Amino acid sequence: MDKIRIVVLDGFTLNPGDLSWDGLKAIGECEIYDRTPADKTLDRAKDAEIILTNKTVLDRKTISSLLKLKYIGVLATGYNVVDIAAAKERGIIVTNIPTYGTRSVAQMAFALILELAQHVGHHSNTVHDGRWSKSKDFCYWDFPLVELEGLTIGFVGFGRIGQSTAEVAKSFGMKIIAYDNYVKESPVAGARMTDMDTLFRESDIVSLHCPLTDENKGFINKARLGMMKKNAFLINTSRGPLINEQDLADALNSGRIAGAGMDVLSSEPPKEDNPLLKAKNCIVTPHIAWATHAARERLMKIAVNNVKSFIDGKPANVIK
């Protein structure tokens, strides 16, 4: 019996060499590509029964042309790269990996918060550049240093990641408020659910943990930013297009809010003229919240188990 044919279209970010594809290779005949440009997707995937993709787009036209395709495994939580309706029409199962990076994303959210509060990286760089050695004083700082205890952190989206980040916030003695369309009573002791406007007005730090939908695209705009405290920080480890980036850059450059920490942008990699790349007190990291070794190891294990479950006729983590 011929082995099932599996194609991984863009495996490099998941496994740049520090993990193993052996679990997947044991299932079937595998072709693994680090990256796949759009003009090569059809050629590489034409004989595949199973496709794994992270950011390589599988749109309606592509899916309709892949006549042998039975299963698409998204190597991430978000699945907007796949035309789900087109897959359903063909009877193709699509799965994702929803829970692998909860703790890692919470950790990254606080890495951004702490960097804005203390500017450790900046001050370390000034020391290595010789500034401390030449200083007239025993210490110096270039930004206001912020103590987190007693501050209010507001979570827009209070699912697994928001709740995990809130538990970290509790350890710093922070007050916690949250808004979520689907969570009406807080599952985190001491956290208070509130409406969106109240959250933006009361929070010293606003942290985004919501999925991207047609309704909330660009909802962080001039009006919403205008509700925030002047000394407030905005954190986004969720989805870049939630934010109108020019409006945020304007708010930062004018001092309307104090700082922002972004691990995601509207276009990735970003264009060189993205306004946040030169905005005041805006920390930008290259979408790495998910990428700890432990999280990627879990992702790989779940991805392989998803494929096995599909082959066994009991598909798991199916996108409805």
In this structure, is residue 189 part of a structural domain? yes
Domain count, the chain: 2
User: Residue 36's domain is classified under what CATH number?
Assistant: 3.40.50.720
Domain match, 56 and 85 both: yes
Domain match, 156 and 254 both: yes
Domain match, 139 and 208 both: yes
In this structure, is residue 319 part of a structural domain? no
Domain match, 84 and 160 both: no
Domain match, 236 and 107 both: yes
Domain match, 91 and 138 both: no
In this structure, is residue 320 part of a structural domain? no
- Whether 239 is catalytic: yes
Whose CA is closest to 94, among 85, 106, 107? 85
Question: Burial of 143 by CB count in 10 Å (0-12 exposed, 13-18 middle, 19+ buried)?
Answer: middle
Domain match, 114 and 182 both: yes
Per the CB < 8 A criterion, the answer to whether 290 and 105 are in contact is yes
Chain-centre distance for alpha carbon 292: 13
In this structure, is residue 316 part of a structural domain? no
Cα–Cα dist 9/66, whole Å = 14
**What 3-state class would DSSP assign to 63?**
helix
Domain match, 160 and 75 both: no
- Whether 119 is catalytic: no
Cα–Cα dist 243/226, whole Å = 14
Per the CB < 8 A criterion, the answer to whether 204 and 173 are in contact is no
In this structure, is residue 264 part of a structural domain? yes
Domain match, 183 and 269 both: yes
Domain match, 154 and 277 both: yes
**Tens-level pLDDT at each residue, the chain (320 residues):** 578 999 999 999 999 999 999 999 999 999 999 999 999 999 999 999 999 999 999 999 999 999 999 999 999 998 989 999 999 999 999 999 988 999 999 999 999 999 999 999 999 999 999 999 999 999 999 999 999 999 999 999 999 999 999 999 999 999 999 999 999 899 999 999 999 999 999 999 999 999 888 899 999 999 999 999 999 999 999 999 999 999 999 999 999 999 999 999 999 999 999 999 999 999 999 999 999 999 999 999 999 999 999 999 999 999 98
* Other Cβ atoms closer than 10 A to 132: 15
In this structure, is residue 125 part of a structural domain? yes
Cα–Cα dist 90/70, whole Å = 8
In this structure, is residue 280 part of a structural domain? yes
Catalytic residue among 89, 131, 268, 293: 268
Q: Which domain holds residue 38?
A: 5-100+293-311
pTM of this prediction?
0.93
Catalytic residue among 239, 245, 296, 298: 239
**What 3-state class would DSSP assign to 254?**
coil
Domain match, 15 and 159 both: no
In this structure, is residue 56 part of a structural domain? yes
Domain match, 62 and 204 both: no
Catalytic residue among 160, 287, 296, 298: 287
Cα–Cα dist 257/249, whole Å = 10
Helices (H), 215-292: 222-225, 245-253
Beta pairing, strands 205-208 & 233-236: parallel
- Whether 256 is catalytic: no
Question: Phi-psi region for residue 213, left (φ > 0), alpha (ψ -120 to 50) or beta?
Answer: beta
